[in-house]
Structure 1
Amino acid sequence: MHKAWLLLAFSLLVGLGMNLAHPVTPAHLDSIGINKSLFGVLFASMNLGQFIFAPIWGNLGDQKNRTMVAFIGILGYAISQLLFGYFTNVYLIILVRFTAGIFACAILSNGLAHISVNPAFGRNKAKLISLFVAFNVIGSTLGYYIGGTIGDYFVGQESVLMYIQAGFNILLAIFTLLFIRMDEEVKIVKKRQSAIAQLLQIKELSKELFLLIIIIALVSIAQTNFSKYLDMYITDLGYMPSTIGTLVFTTGMVTLLVSFLVVPYLNRHFKETKTLLVVVILQAVFTALTFGLNQSHFLLWGYTFFMVYTAGKAIYEPAVAYHLSKYTEISPGVLMGSRQSAISLGAIIGPLIAGLIYDDIGVWMFIVLSGILGISAVLLFIYNKRVKV
């Protein structure tokens, strides 16, 4: 039990440490003169680092020491954030965002893998995995809230938050090395597939599953850009970092409540394909309302309509994973690998496109994203008609 609580504390602190500087990142990039058209490249470069290196860190964790892999990941992320605050050259910033992605994907994935393969957790394994994810969400929202509050005192000097974040993560890396034990008696020998190999697995899927993978990629494009550009948009509206932190903290609390209270009920009473269709329709409608109504009242829409979108996002992910698990004739590795590839590609392609259009069309970009969710809902309707699972 003591070890379980340490792992939960680790998950919470990682979430906090990785989000401290997020509320001030758009203002920081503005203050050093980075063109908004390049923001998408910065976001995509981090996602690209995760896409390429996640299987590599997974293999190292399976075969070597997971604690050491997590330590390297946290320390590498800390150094990347330190350099992010120091550099003003856009090409160097793109490079350190890429390295931040490389190291970030080494951390939580190995924690979850350790819980899933450790027989000591026994029947509590599923509950501990859920709590591990939930504690990370709590940490993330706390990081946004604390970072936003501190950021109000460093307007025009946002790089200070990157230095604070780097220092916190260096301390967290030391804490991990000293107190977190993710040792396993039996190491996994089989190597995980590379990101490219996972992507190529998509050709093995049926027409229906291929359609679902396309839908997952489209939803990923929309959800990634809502997440990445919301901070920037709120900054452009003239609000302080604390406003961003408080709003994101609220979305985190909504996510937790929905995950624990609503998702189990829906899983018991409704078919997941129907749930997915309704959820994506609601997300399309309520994001369109959030960004389509009078933006001088944005915070009102943010704390009402956008929370419906947030609740839908909390329902969407487990529903997709559960539905894919029903395809018993296809290996779980192929299914989950294809799903992760679709999500990753959406997280890379989405910000690249958004970076090109946001500076020109502003809030209308979010209306376009609502339209992508609407298209996804139409495709889900077609999928529902065809699928037999």
Structure 2
Amino acid sequence: MSKQQNRRMYLFLVVVAIEIMAANFAHPITPTLLKNLHMPDYMFGFVYAGMSFTNFLFSPMWATLGKRLGSKKTLLICCCGYGLGQFLFMVFKTPILIMIARMVSGFFVGGIFVSQLTYIIHKADYENRGKFLALNATIQTVFGAFGFMIGGFSGLISTEFTFMLQVVTLVASGILFYFILEEDKEIQTEKFSFSKEANPFRAFFNARKFMNVGFVVLFIVVFLTSLATTTYDQSLNYYLKDVFNFNSSYNGIMKAVVGLISLLANTTISLWIMRHTNVAKSFVVVCMIAALLLFGVYMSVDVIPFAFFNILFFGANAIYIPLIQDLCAKHADEAHSGEVMGFYNSMKSMGMVIGGVYAGAIYTIGPKLSFLSSSISFGLSACLIFILVIKRVLKFKS
């Protein structure tokens, strides 16, 4: 990569950091919002699942449309659309309307995440791709935590203030993406066809072009780890408010500490793993560690060990994300990289959909059962990738 391309890529990552912070402003105030509206306990999982469902359904569509529009236009449209969805979330007061608002947000969120990954794959050469994917994953985790902290403290002013701050920042991010990114759209000779390019079900059908045994197992693992993380995250956020009666600022502080730990873990351990080890084998170890730490969370009774195991888990959680992205990206050929990352985001979003519903449902049975089930999901993920390794399906080294 030239110095100019390298500099532009780092500017792109700066805007990614701004966007991901804004995307997390509303998370710490959502339990307070739902409590103030006298919603039942399961609603915290259901509204998250609503957003995740449209994210899952339309991610492959955005991957296809991104070829025609280019990443810069797609990110502009989707950041502004996400801002609209969050504005509706602020003003709507009934369960059905809130669910509609979250589904609007999810429709555009899929385009943001897919376009960010696709831009890295298109603009970073093969040698630097793993590095920038790791940096992107680090930014998603670390600045997402700082966004959570900002949202937690701004929520002490009012929930409306936090939502408006989020809307303005998301729109500003879309504008910055448009002016900073290089054009990466593909030349299209055919006229636009909704049935081929904007039909989400058609996009899923097109996955047959690149699908093989390795990808089937990888995408199952993407789903399982997303399911585990979502179930855990949504339950923890509500658990701190419901059981310990922490206000939104405590949630924010905890996420900020986690963000710093994740930054250290990703900039040291993740990069070392991708440069010096077999990524698939290392992924197995990381998932097993995550499973054990989540079991520690489940077994903890007092606040101090509960917080200790949670903080360690977030470090493991930060490490596994760039590893699974790297496995998917390097298992794909250049011609289908966009579709692969679109499908990756769909499987991740499916885990978010089911994880959100599952977290809300299982919480009513036992508040800590979600931590145990998340531990089991990470253990299964480790076993599946281990099978791929011993069957020599994933043989490459980073």
TM-score range, shorter chain: 0.7 to 0.9
Name the amino acid aligned to 2:278. Answer: K
Name the amino acid aligned to 1:297. Answer: V
Q: What's the CA shift for 1:252? A: 2.2
**How many Å separate the matches in 1 of 2:224 and 2:126?**
37
Q: What's the CA shift for 1:99? A: 0.5
Q: What's the CA shift for 1:286? A: 0.7
Structure 2 regions of 5+ residues with no counterpart?
191-195
Q: 1:246 to 1:277 in 2, by over 3 A?
A: same
Alignment of 1:248 with 2:252, yes or no, is no
Q: Determine the structure 1 residue equivalent to 2:193.
A: none
Q: Determine the structure 2 residue equivalent to 1:386.
A: 391
What count of residue pairs does the alignment treat as equivalent?
381
8 Å contact 2:266–2:318 — kept in the other structure? yes
Give the counterpart of 1:148 among 137, 147, 152.
Answer: 152
**How many Å separate the matches in 1 of 2:290 and 2:144?**
22
**How many Å separate the matches in 2 of 1:67 and 1:335?**
19
**How many Å separate the matches in 1 of 2:248 and 2:67?**
39
8 Å contact 2:19–2:169 — kept in the other structure? no
Structure 1 regions of 5+ residues with no counterpart?
none
Counterpart secondary structure, 1:105: helix
Alignment of 1:76 with 2:77, yes or no, is no
TM-score normalised to structure 1 length? 0.83
Q: Determine the structure 2 residue equivalent to 1:307.
A: 311
Q: Determine the structure 1 residue equivalent to 2:180.
A: 180
Alignment of 1:359 with 2:360, yes or no, is no
**Matches of residues 344-355 of structure 1 in structure 2 within 5 Å?**
344-355=349-360
Q: Determine the structure 2 residue equivalent to 1:169.
A: 170
What fraction of aligned residue pairs are identical, expressed as a percent?
A: 24
**How many Å separate the matches in 1 of 2:186 and 2:336?**
22
**How many Å separate the matches in 2 of 1:221 and 1:176?**
30
**How many Å separate the matches in 1 of 2:325 and 2:197?**
19
8 Å contact 2:90–2:163 — kept in the other structure? yes
8 Å contact 1:13–1:136 — kept in the other structure? no
8 Å contact 1:79–1:166 — kept in the other structure? yes
Q: What's the CA shift for 1:103? A: 1.7
Name the amino acid aligned to 2:246. Answer: Y
For 1:31-50, what per-residue CA distance to the aligned partner results, in whole angstroms no more than 9, with x for missing partners?
Answer: 11221223222111111211
Q: Determine the structure 2 residue equivalent to 1:216.
A: 222
8 Å contact 2:130–2:326 — kept in the other structure? no
Alignment of 1:58 with 2:58, yes or no, is no
For 1:190-225, what per-residue CA distance to the aligned partner results, in whole angstroms no more than 9, with x for missing partners?
Answer: 987965456554798666664454343222211121
Q: 1:189 to 1:257 in 2, by over 3 A?
A: farther
For 1:202-260, what per-residue CA distance to the aligned partner results, in whole angstroms no more than 9, with x for missing partners?
Answer: 79866666445434322221112122332111111211211111211222222222222
**Matches of residues 1-389 of structure 1 in structure 2 within 5 Å?**
1=4, 3-4=8-9, 6-64=11-69, 66-118=71-123, 130-154=134-158, 158-173=159-174, 175=176, 179-184=179-184, 187=187, 195-197=200-202, 199-200=204-205, 201=207, 210-236=216-242, 237-294=244-301, 296-298=302-304, 300-302=305-307, 304-324=308-328, 339-388=344-393, 389=395
For 1:330-366, what per-residue CA distance to the aligned partner results, in whole angstroms no more than 9, with x for missing partners?
Answer: 9855765654443232222222222222123112222
**How many Å separate the matches in 1 of 2:92 and 2:126?**
47
Q: 1:126 to 1:264 in 2, by over 3 A?
A: closer
**How many Å separate the matches in 1 of 2:175 and 2:345?**
31
**How many Å separate the matches in 2 of 1:64 and 1:206?**
28
Q: What's the CA shift for 1:94? A: 0.5
8 Å contact 1:282–1:308 — kept in the other structure? no
Q: What's the CA shift for 1:136? A: 4.5
Q: 1:125 to 1:266 in 2, by over 3 A?
A: closer
Q: What's the CA shift for 1:97? A: 0.2
8 Å contact 2:235–2:360 — kept in the other structure? no
Q: What's the CA shift for 1:271? A: 2.8
Counterpart secondary structure, 2:155: helix
TM-score normalised to structure 2 length? 0.81
**How many Å separate the matches in 2 of 1:360 and 1:58?**
38
**How many Å separate the matches in 1 of 2:48 and 2:223?**
17
Q: 1:268 to 1:57 in 2, by over 3 A?
A: closer
8 Å contact 2:66–2:185 — kept in the other structure? no
**How many Å separate the matches in 2 of 1:114 and 1:340?**
14
CA RMSD between the two structures: 3.5
Q: 1:65 to 1:6 in 2, by over 3 A?
A: same
Counterpart secondary structure, 2:225: helix
8 Å contact 1:12–1:137 — kept in the other structure? no
**How many Å separate the matches in 1 of 2:29 and 2:296?**
26
In terms of mean alpha carbon deviation, does 47-56 or 236-245 score higher? 47-56
8 Å contact 1:15–1:138 — kept in the other structure? no
Q: What's the CA shift for 1:84? A: 0.7
Counterpart secondary structure, 1:36: coil
**How many Å separate the matches in 2 of 1:113 and 1:309?**
28
**How many Å separate the matches in 2 of 1:386 and 1:122?**
26
**How many Å separate the matches in 2 of 1:354 and 1:122?**
38
